[in-house]
Amino acid sequence: MSKITAHDSANSKSSGGPHSPQGKSRSSKNALKHGVFASAPLIAGESAREFKQLMDATLLEFRPQGIVEELCAKKIVESLWRQMRADRAECAEIERRRHFLAWDRGKSEAQHAEKSADDISGGLHSHRFNPIVLARCIRLLDELKSEIESRGFRPDADGAILEEVYGFSNGSRLFSDLPRLYKRILLTSQLTEDERRAADMLTPAKCIEEMVRFIARECMRLRKYQGTCDSVTAQRTELEYLGRAVLQGASLDRFVRYGASLDRRLKRYLDLLQQLQTRRREEAGA
């Protein structure tokens, strides 16, 4: 035997485990599983008062006599309590799956919105199916409408907003009617008085009113689209929620096997208690 082996063997013989009451209590829980499959009657977060109420009600109903009958009754209580725990755990698992569905979707939408902000060719409008992006489009156009109403046309600032929403122009082609309308109305507002009268064109003030009207109409169109998207998304989410309300795969298999074992355990102790009480009554009547 090597020195290391001899040393380990000596240590194992001299080690008697924890000696204090606190240490023994902690050591007694080392083999326990955690959560719904724990073997302890009560786990963290469970109500000792509710457990006692169940115990009292069960003892009152079966009125066990003697140590063995009382032990069976207590095992029945523990089995019922574990079944209640399993039901709560199943509900919690379903709720967790539903909660993280919304979380995952929101995170995905936020990541897509961040990437779409870098798309200068098609603009935010080309990603309007994303609710975050769509809301930003509407907010930017509302700001543009308010700015034009208050200070008139500013091609550089206005153009920056329109490009962010609709993308930049590609030759003579733009990605929406609104940028084309803005360009046309802006040119009209820049005509001289003589040019305007000769062509019977709008005044600068009327040009601003016209542009504000077009932007308001575009905002209304996008809000209508937003409402449609919200409705469809809500219906799709509800269907996905319903799908996740049923446990599947490993989670379902584990809960089914655990539930079946609890049912067998409960039936075994109920049958045993009934047999003991029947025998006791027969012996008392003999």
Task: Please state, for a pLDDT cut of 90, what percent of the chain lies above it.
Answer: 42
Q: Residue 192 in 3-state DSSP?
A: coil
More confident residue, 121 or 52: 52
More confident residue, 178 or 8: 178
For 240-249, the pLDDT digits (tens) are 665 555 555 6
For 6-47, the pLDDT digits (tens) are 554 545 444 455 566 555 555 444 433 434 445 557 888 888
Mean pLDDT of 71-78: 93
Asked if 161 contacts 143 with a C-beta cutoff of 8 angstroms, the reply is yes
Across 145-154, 166-175, 257-266, 274-283, least confident range: 166-175
Mean pLDDT of 134-161: 95
Per-residue DSSP letters for 77-131?
HHHHHHHHHHHHHHHHHHHHHHHHHHHHHHHHHHHHHHHHTT-TTTTGGGGTTSH
Cβ count near 156 (within 10 Å): 6
Asked if 210 contacts 174 with a C-beta cutoff of 8 angstroms, the reply is no
What's residue 103's pLDDT? 64
Q: What is the mean pLDDT of the chain?
A: 79
Asked if 65 contacts 280 with a C-beta cutoff of 8 angstroms, the reply is yes
Q: Which residue has the tokens 């169940």?
A: 54
Mean pLDDT of 192-209: 92
What's residue 86's pLDDT? 84
What's residue 70's pLDDT? 92
Mean pLDDT of 65-86: 91
DSSP 36: G
Asked if 46 contacts 85 with a C-beta cutoff of 8 angstroms, the reply is yes
What's residue 175's pLDDT? 44
Cα–Cα distance measured from residue 146 to residue 208, given in angstroms and rounded to the nearest whole number: 11
Cα–Cα distance measured from residue 268 to residue 262, given in angstroms and rounded to the nearest whole number: 10
Contacts of 137 (CB under 8 A, 6+ apart): 124, 125, 128, 165, 222
What's residue 110's pLDDT? 72
For 105-146, the pLDDT digits (tens) are 666 777 776 676 665 567 888 888 888 899 999 999 999 999
Checking if the pLDDT of 5 tops 70, the result is no
Return the structure tokens found at 2: 């090597």
* pTM for this predicted structure: 0.50
Mean pLDDT of 78-95: 83
Q: Residue 170 in 3-state DSSP?
A: strand
pLDDT band at 221 (very low <50, low <70, confident <90, very high): very high
pLDDT band at 156 (very low <50, low <70, confident <90, very high): very high
